[in-house]
Amino acid sequence: MSLLSDGGPAAAAAPSSSVAPTAVPPRAGVARRFLRKPVAVASVAWLLLVAVLAAAAPLLTSASPTASSITNALAPFGGDSPLGTDGLGRDVLAQLLYGARTSLVGALIVVAVALVLGLPAGVLAGYYRGRFDAAASWVANLVMAQPAIIILLVVLAQFGRSTELAMLVFGVVIAPGVFRLVRASIIAVRGELYVDAARVAGLSDPRIMRRHVLPVVVAPTIIQMSQVLGIAIVLQAGLEFIGLGSANQASWGGMLNDAFAKIYAAPNLLLLPGLAIVVTVTACSLVGNGLRDVLGVGATPPVRRRSAVRAVGPVVEDGRPSSGTAPAPDDALLRVEGLRVAYPEPDGGEGEVVHGVSLTIRRGEVHGLVGESGSGKSQTAFAVLGLLPPQAHTSATTLTFDGGDLRGISRRGMNQLRGRRIGYIPQEPMSNLDPSFRIGSQLTEPMRHHLGLSKAEAKAKAIQLLDRVGIVDPARVFDSYPHQISGGMAQRVLIAGALSCDPDLLIADEPTTALDVTVQAEVLDLVRDLQAERDLGVLLVTHDFGVVADLCDTVTVMRAGEVVESAAAAQLFADPQHEYTRSLLAATLEGGPARAALTTPAGGTR
């Protein structure tokens, strides 16, 4: 609307530099830190005082705010009218008290309508994106492009003068600002790795939003609403001042209107309603500033390691497997044939990044997926997990897990497999733990969701798992936040989480990349031991042939999205068949000849 582009109410409500879209979620001790800000505390006290006085107006004065007495017009302070009367003989104290009620109710209507319309739409659009996001964004832009005052005049002309109706219209006007803030906050957090980790754990979308996404929205939304509250009070007073509000109720704007008409006879009538509006609106702004400081909004957002993804099941190209597909081994746990992944390109076509990948993982087998960066290893793993971005087009001749077809599987069906029967160990362990929750909370939630364990049972199993993965003091780590543990311990926590629901298949995506050499060896030993004792099928995504030689039974080598060689690990290291595999093995330093001395541009050595 025109008010938006000209710095009007919705513009003020939209995200600004002080309200970062990736706000840090509220932390413990918010109330304590807020109480250390005397200006903010005084502002809250003033707002509470205004609310109490408005609610108790009938108890504080017996005068009617709308009853006029011309013979008692412009009466001085004292007597039956402690603050005197206005130009129509109405009691000023009664008008202030009842006017506070009108202003607060009108402001709350604006806030409520803006939240009801903007918050759910922003959450759904930011989390699911797609068509709803496009449609909701188009509607928000359309509303913001219209002149707000014209819409208000049309509505009031059609339905009559009403303060409540006018505030409802302004709530609709401001809702796009709420929508944009919430949507931006959700988009910023939904691509974080700890959200992907929750998705891989098999948690439902509502549960992920409630625990990991919505807490990020709370802080900026609360701050924005404190600002909107003050804006709404000014808008309500302005409407009453120009005569567009309800004629049968007291308001601060109506008092200003009457005082302006008597400005030469009784200029003091402007003082009290003017001060009430200024102090109340300033208090709303100062409360918002205080909340911004204690909630950490505007702090540097966490670095995003990977673009946002959402779970989508692979789609079949022709609807049925080809007749030429080889029969599956009896102990096949995961079978992939002819997997292709493509992304849209600017010219309208599609660029394929995975070209007909095929592999089979048996129970109790560690299958290494090897290749240089960009060879399509992670794309293949994410396609199996159903975690590719929504724009990806995935097809496969065969894609089965334990005999069940994964092609076209529903989001709900994939959620029941991930975490419960398919575990996932990601790289970058610290980024896959939500900093807002303790380690124990993040470990027990999948167990309670998938296994139906009680809180006590889930805690006992989580501590047992932490002990099993080699953490010395599992009870302390259980009660710790992610920033209180090391990277190696975080990786062990993720391994414990991946095994918490006793999966059959474990997909490990570069599980030791971010760790030092000593911790890498410990983690690899742990994966080997757990695989042997639980008879797990393991898909190990890596580019490290040392890890492959240490762990894997079978190796598939990928290059530029294609499988170039697949063989038993011993056979591949002893007699690699493909030139690319030989070049990768030759690039390793172990056992190779000493490197020649480096030469300077002038030809000398150094």
What is the DSSP-derived secondary structure letter of residue 432? G
Q: What is the rounded CA–CA span in Å between residue 166 and residue 106?
A: 9
Tell me the two tokens of residue 206. Answer: 């509502």
For residue 8, what pLDDT is reported? Answer: 44
300 vs 259: which has the higher pLDDT: 259
Q: What is the rounded CA–CA span in Å between residue 380 and residue 23?
A: 33
Residue 310: helix, strand or coil by DSSP?
coil
- The mean-pLDDT minimum among 256-265, 305-314, 472-481 falls in 305-314
Q: What is the rounded CA–CA span in Å between residue 237 and residue 240?
A: 5
**In contact, 253 and 239? CB cutoff 8 Å:** yes
Q: How are beta strands 422-425 and 404-405 bridged, if at all?
A: unpaired
What is the DSSP-derived secondary structure letter of residue 26? P
What is the DSSP-derived secondary structure letter of residue 599? B
CA nearest 387: which of 315, 334, 314, 312?
A: 312
> pLDDT for 161-174, tens place per residue?
777 888 888 888 88
For residue 313, what pLDDT is reported? Answer: 40
Position 100: which residue type?
A
What is the DSSP-derived secondary structure letter of residue 605? B
Report, as an integer, the average pLDDT of 322-345: 72
pLDDT higher than 80, residue 64: no
Fold designation for 2-61+83-295:
MetI-like fold (1.10.3720)
CA distances from 272 to 76, 140, 259, 481, 590 (A): 14, 38, 10, 51, 85
The Cα diameter of the chain in Å comes to 112
Phi, psi of 519 (to 5 degrees): -70, -35
> pLDDT for 357-387, tens place per residue?
888 888 888 898 888 888 888 888 888 888 8
What residue spans define the domains of the chain?
2-61+83-295, 311-321+328-421+505-527+536-588, 430-500
Place of tokens 């070209």: 355
Q: What is the rounded CA–CA span in Å between residue 316 and residue 314?
A: 7
Sheet bearing 422-425, strands edge to edge:
422-425, 505-509, 537-542, 366-370, 554-559, 562-568
Report, as an integer, the average pLDDT of 581-596: 66
Task: Say how far residue 559 (Cα) sits from the centre of its chain.
Answer: 35
Per DSSP, the residues of 132-168 read HHHHHHHHHHHHHHS-HHHHHHHHHHHH---HHHHHH
Task: Say how far residue 353 (Cα) sits from the centre of its chain.
Answer: 28
SS3 string of 558-589?
EECCEEEEEEEHHHHHHCCCCHHHHHHHHHCC
CATH number of 311-321+328-421+505-527+536-588: 3.40.50.300
> pLDDT for 543-577, tens place per residue?
777 778 878 888 899 988 888 888 888 888 888 88
Q: How are beta strands 350-362 and 505-509 bridged, if at all?
A: unpaired
Q: How are beta strands 332-344 and 393-395 bridged, if at all?
A: antiparallel
pLDDT higher than 50, residue 321: no
Evaluate the CA torsion angle 182, 187, 190, 193 in order and state its sign. negative
Q: How are beta strands 562-568 and 398-401 bridged, if at all?
A: unpaired
Band (519; pLDDT cuts 50, 70, 90): low
For residue 138, what pLDDT is reported? Answer: 92
Report, as an integer, the average pLDDT of 216-239: 82
Band (312; pLDDT cuts 50, 70, 90): very low
Q: What is the rounded CA–CA span in Å between residue 234 and residue 9?
A: 10
**In contact, 167 and 244? CB cutoff 8 Å:** no
For residue 327, what pLDDT is reported? Answer: 54
> pLDDT for 261-294, tens place per residue?
777 777 778 888 888 888 888 888 888 888 777 7
Per DSSP, the residues of 504-540 read SEEEEESTTTTS-HHHHHHHHHHHHHHHHHHT-EEEE
Query: How high is the mean pLDDT of the chain?
Result: 77
Residue 353: helix, strand or coil by DSSP?
strand
Report, as an integer, the average pLDDT of 524-540: 80
End-to-end CA distance of the chain: 68
Phi, psi of 356 (to 5 degrees): 65, 45
Helices (H) and strands (E) in the chain, counts: 24, 11
Place of tokens 């991930």: 418
- The mean-pLDDT minimum among 105-114, 245-254, 330-339 falls in 245-254
> pLDDT for 155-210, tens place per residue?
877 887 777 888 888 888 888 888 988 888 888 777 676 776 677 667 777 777 77
**In contact, 353 and 379? CB cutoff 8 Å:** yes
Share of the chain above pLDDT 90, in %: 1
Which residues make beta-bridge pairs with 351? 343
Band (304; pLDDT cuts 50, 70, 90): very low
**In contact, 576 and 585? CB cutoff 8 Å:** yes
Report, as an integer, the average pLDDT of 402-409: 81
Q: What is the rounded CA–CA span in Å between residue 9 and residue 459?
A: 49
